[in-house]
Amino acid sequence: MEIEEFDEKTRNAQRPVILYFWAAWCTPCKFMSPGLEKTRLHFSDTVNFIKVNADEANELVQHLGIFSIPTLVGYANGDEVLRRSGVQSNAQLQDLFTAVSTGRPVSTGLSNGTRLLRLSLGLALMVAGWLVGYWLAGLMVGGIIAFTAVYDRCPVYRAVSARIKKLLQKENDLASTK
């Protein structure tokens, strides 16, 4: 896809658009493919979905600042409202498509300032604990605070939290049927 074609498909679209940057060699893309296809079909009446092979669209990839694949970029009324990189769970894909279909900007989580503040505080507590002789307590507390700065970007946290949410949902469903 050329930049001019991209502009045409996003700026003049009657419906929101999601661009999906992928490559044939990309294992995470292959992993996410079944869930993405199911979600795409579910939203086919409300969202235009465009697959872009990153290997064949180098100019567009550079123009949009795509640094990794898979990446999903959502547009509404010609404006970018969403950008997510990495493997997304089926629930995350549903949320992303829902957000783009509403046309509202999507929060990307913590601001960079908040992330920096949490990382700094965590590191400061680790160093302070080491200096005053409570290195284990400082390491644990500082590590937890530092982790809160990046937890939403951690693939292990995403996988575990998605499974826990699914288990809790099943328990809630079972409790409500009794």
In the chain, the number of structural domains is 2
Active-site residue among 17, 29, 36, 66?
A: 29
154 is catalytic: no
Model-wide pTM > 0.85: no
Residue 107 resides in a domain: no
Residues 16 and 98 placed together within one structural domain of the fold? yes
29 is catalytic: yes
Query: What span, in angstroms and rounded, lies between the C-alpha atoms of 105 and 158?
Result: 22
> What one-character DSSP code corresponds to residue 78?
T
Question: What is the Cβ-side half-sphere exposure of residue 21, based on CA atoms within 13 angstroms?
Answer: 27
Query: What span, in angstroms and rounded, lies between the C-alpha atoms of 88 and 45?
Result: 22
Please report the pLDDT score of residue 168 as a whole number.
Answer: 77
The answer, yes or no, to whether residue 120 has pLDDT greater than 60, is yes
Mapped onto helix, strand or coil, the DSSP state of residue 84 is strand
Average pLDDT, the chain: 83
Active-site residue among 17, 26, 47, 145?
A: 26
Residues 36 and 74 placed together within one structural domain of the fold? yes
Residues 124 and 96 placed together within one structural domain of the fold? no
DSSP string across 85-154: ES---HHHHHHHHHHHHHTPPPP-SS-HHHHHHHHHHHHHHHHHHHHHT-HHHHHHHHHHHHHHHHGGG-
Residues spanned by the domain of 35: 3-102
The answer, yes or no, to whether residue 110 has pLDDT greater than 90, is no
Residues 86 and 132 placed together within one structural domain of the fold? no
Question: What is the Cβ-side half-sphere exposure of residue 122, based on CA atoms within 13 angstroms?
Answer: 17
**Last residue of one domain, picked from the residues 102, 124, 142:** 102
Q: How far is CA 87 from CA 3, 72, 122, 157, in A?
A: 25, 10, 28, 13
Residue 33 binned pLDDT confidence (cut-offs 50, 70, 90)? very high
Asked if 16 contacts 47 with a C-beta cutoff of 8 angstroms, the reply is yes
Residues 147 and 78 placed together within one structural domain of the fold? no
Residue 163 resides in a domain: yes
Residue 19 binned pLDDT confidence (cut-offs 50, 70, 90)? very high
Tokens 């045409």 belong to: 8
Residues 76 and 117 placed together within one structural domain of the fold? no
- With a CB cutoff of 8 Å and minimum separation 6, the contacts of 98 are 43
**Last residue of one domain, picked from the residues 102, 135, 152:** 102
List, for residues 37-65, the tens digit of each pLDDT value: 999 999 999 999 999 999 998 898 888 88
Query: What span, in angstroms and rounded, lies between the C-alpha atoms of 165 and 26?
Result: 28
Position 155, amino acid: P
CATH number reported for the structural domain that contains residue 23 in this entry: 3.40.30.10
Query: What span, in angstroms and rounded, lies between the C-alpha atoms of 99 and 108?
Result: 12
Residue 153 resides in a domain: yes
Token pair of 50 as six digits: 């465009």
Residue 24 binned pLDDT confidence (cut-offs 50, 70, 90)? very high
List, for residues 66-109, the tens digit of each pLDDT value: 888 999 998 888 888 888 888 888 888 888 898 888 866 555 56
Query: What span, in angstroms and rounded, lies between the C-alpha atoms of 105 and 59?
Result: 25
